Structure 1
Amino acid sequence: MINVDNAISVLKKNGYKYTDKRKNILAVFDHENRYLTAKDVQNQLKEDYPTISYDTIYRNLYTFVELDILEETELNGEKLFRFNCAHHGHHHHFICVVCGRTKTIEMCPMDFFKNQLKDCEIESHRFEIFGKCEKCLAKQL
């Protein structure tokens, strides 16, 4: 998985300035290691940056997505972000709808679909399973 130092290198390589705010936004993801909303990030930064706007955070998150620093998904109409983990090879995720933790799914269901789409060219795909992780289920008991 990418870390803060790698992410800052990617930003600089692509002509973006280093700022403490950007570093601290990235540090939130490094510390949490799960999917987060822009609001989650804003809440974690409000002590150090009480006036940081939601738009500033959102704009930075999308810059990070464009640079493949973060990956995004959507749940119930809300964008969620986490450090990109694509360098681990092809895999998919189970995402907890309560806490945002993820689990890697090594098996890919695309072989099944390739057989059904023989006359098509598949350029990319995404497969995510949403549910409750064992920790969140245990809290319900």
Structure 2
Amino acid sequence: MNIDEAIDLLKAKGYKTTGKRKDILAYFGEADGYRTAKDLISYLEKTYDGISFDTIYRNLHLYDEVGILEATELNGEKHFRMNCTHHHHHHFICNTCGKTKEIEVCPMDDVQQSLANYAIEDHKFEIYGLCPLCKGA
């Protein structure tokens, strides 16, 4: 999802697109991988002196709820990234830098056979480790 698509989605859901909200979108649009609320507040404090964690968390959860951001948990902390909506895929996530690599393989074909009598509504498949740069460091 790009920033314009995200703004259109916010408007379609009846939410205002304030300067802060656009700056949050710009941050995640440029980020390569998952980022935390702490990362975001450090970025926004340069422009918005005294911005609160409440404002950050409220917007992060709104964006997650409407499908602009996707969330995962790394080392006991929620991390967010811009939602990849163009095709179905999964991610390798670096535990050190948070960068991601798309994985085209999906284990759901095998799982659906094992759970033939179940109604699967959603799934998430992620692999965690070290990217080549962090592994070499």
TM-score by length of 2: 0.94
Q: Does 1:86 align with 2:85?
A: yes
Q: Deviations over 1:63-108 (max 9, x none)?
A: 1111111111111221110000022x21110011111111011011
Name the structure 2 match of 1:44. Answer: 43
CA distance in 1, matches of 2:32, 2:133: 15
Cα offset for 1:119? 2.4
CA distance in 2, matches of 1:40, 1:56: 14
Name the structure 2 match of 1:58. Answer: 57
Q: Share of identical aligned residues, percent?
A: 55
CA distance in 2, matches of 1:126, 1:64: 18
Cα offset for 1:17? 1.1
SS in 2 for 1:86: coil
Q: How many residues align?
A: 137
CA distance in 1, matches of 2:79, 2:63: 13
SS in 1 for 2:70: strand
CA distance in 2, matches of 1:36, 1:67: 18
Cα offset for 1:32? 1.1
1:12-31 equivalences under 5 Å are 12-31=11-30
Q: Which amino acid aligns with 1:119?
A: N
Long gaps (5+) in structure 2: none
RMSD: 1.2
Q: Deviations over 1:114-136 (max 9, x none)?
A: 23223222221110001110111
SS in 2 for 1:82: strand
Q: Which amino acid aligns with 2:84?
A: C
Q: Which amino acid aligns with 2:15?
A: Y
Q: Deviations over 1:38-58 (max 9, x none)?
A: 111001111111211111011
Q: Which amino acid aligns with 2:109?
A: D
Q: Does 1:105 align with 2:93?
A: no
Q: Which amino acid aligns with 2:32?
A: N
SS in 1 for 2:101: strand
SS in 2 for 1:79: strand
SS in 1 for 2:78: strand
